[in-house]
Amino acid sequence: MGLILAVAVAACSSNDDPPYVERPVEELYNTAMDAVAAGEWEAAAYGFDEVERQHPYSVWATKAQLMAAYSYYQRNKYAEAIGALERFIQLHPGNKDAPYAYYLMALCYYEQITDVGRDQRITQQAMNALEEVVRRYPNSEYARDARLKIDLTRDHLAGKEMTIGRYYLRQGQYIAAINRFKNVVENYQTTTHVPEALHRLAEAYMALGVLEEAQNVAAVLGYNYPGSEWYVDTYTLVTGQEVPTAKAEENKSWFSRTWNSIF
């Protein structure tokens, strides 16, 4: 009975799996490239994986690793693409295509970034990977695009901090809100969220009754973003007055005087 069962299992296994047929490396690689040209990414990835599996020590295997990763990326199978790229980088760190491998890995993370209402772990991974491209290959064509995407990624991370900070502010958890807004001001200074972060800081300090801290924050906002809507709102919040219209040379604003007293 055991023998019959074993035979049956073997038969099922042989029916489920395609038979292994060794083929010349050039034929496997060219067939996979034909699949790429046709946009058949699943077949392409399988074909390139077969090149590496059947001919692991050939020069074709190195190219196939990278092309398999590219095929997985095109199919939006990011985990598989990242795995193939990590293997390529580990085995061939000095390869001429290593800069592209790092860049493609960064894209795999970058294209998975979700809205600021969700967990931003993948966003942080994207930024780390993009910064690695710039660090290793600062003069490459990939570094130029990576720098742009780093700015967008940082803005996204700052947006997440702002979302959490606003939530704490609405809930009356002012210390928690202040910590989030401070993080934006201190660690994401080049992002578009800084003016609002300063305004929200002033709001939180005012709610706590810490007028001096609110004035200090307002001074920084007025000095750095005098033309923004957040400047107007914060000035009114802290002073109870509208922003004066007189020229700065003729009549220094309260913000400017406060700024000079602090710094």
Spatial contact of 52 and 87, defined as CB atoms under 8 Å apart: no
pLDDT band at 203 (very low <50, low <70, confident <90, very high): very high
> pLDDT digits over 95-147, tens only?
999 999 999 999 999 999 987 767 788 999 999 999 999 999 999 999 999 99
Whether the per-residue pLDDT at 70 is higher than 90: the answer is yes
pLDDT band at 59 (very low <50, low <70, confident <90, very high): confident
Give the pLDDT score at 115.
77
pLDDT band at 254 (very low <50, low <70, confident <90, very high): very low
Lowest-confidence range among 30-34, 129-133, 175-179?
30-34
Whether the per-residue pLDDT at 188 is higher than 90: the answer is yes
User: 246 versus 75: which is more confidently predicted?
Assistant: 75
Tokens of 222: 């007025």
The share of the chain scoring above pLDDT 70, in percent, equals: 83
The share of the chain scoring above pLDDT 90, in percent, equals: 64
Coil vs helix vs strand at 161: helix
Number of H-type helices and E-type strands within the chain = 13, 0
Nearest C-alpha neighbor of 109 from the set 158, 65, 150:
150
Give the pLDDT score at 199.
95
CA distance 97 to 100: 5
Please report, for the chain, the start and end positions of each structural domain, with discontinuous segments joined by +.
193-263
Say how many C-beta atoms besides its own lie within 10 A of residue 40's C-beta: 16
> Cβ contacts of residue 29 below 8 Å, gap of 6+?
47, 48, 51, 60, 63, 64
Orientation angle between helical segments 229-239 and 211-224, nearest 10 degrees: 150
How much is the average pLDDT of 46-63?
88
Spatial contact of 201 and 166, defined as CB atoms under 8 Å apart: no
Whether the per-residue pLDDT at 249 is higher than 90: the answer is no
Give the pLDDT score at 117.
66
pLDDT band at 11 (very low <50, low <70, confident <90, very high): very low
Give the pLDDT score at 19.
62
Whether the per-residue pLDDT at 79 is higher than 90: the answer is yes
pLDDT band at 251 (very low <50, low <70, confident <90, very high): very low
Nearest C-alpha neighbor of 68 from the set 44, 92, 88, 86:
44
CA angle (243 as vertex; 238, 248 as ends), nearest 5 = 115
Q: Which residue has the tokens 């996979």?
A: 32
Whether the per-residue pLDDT at 259 is higher than 50: the answer is no
How high does pLDDT run on average in the chain? 85
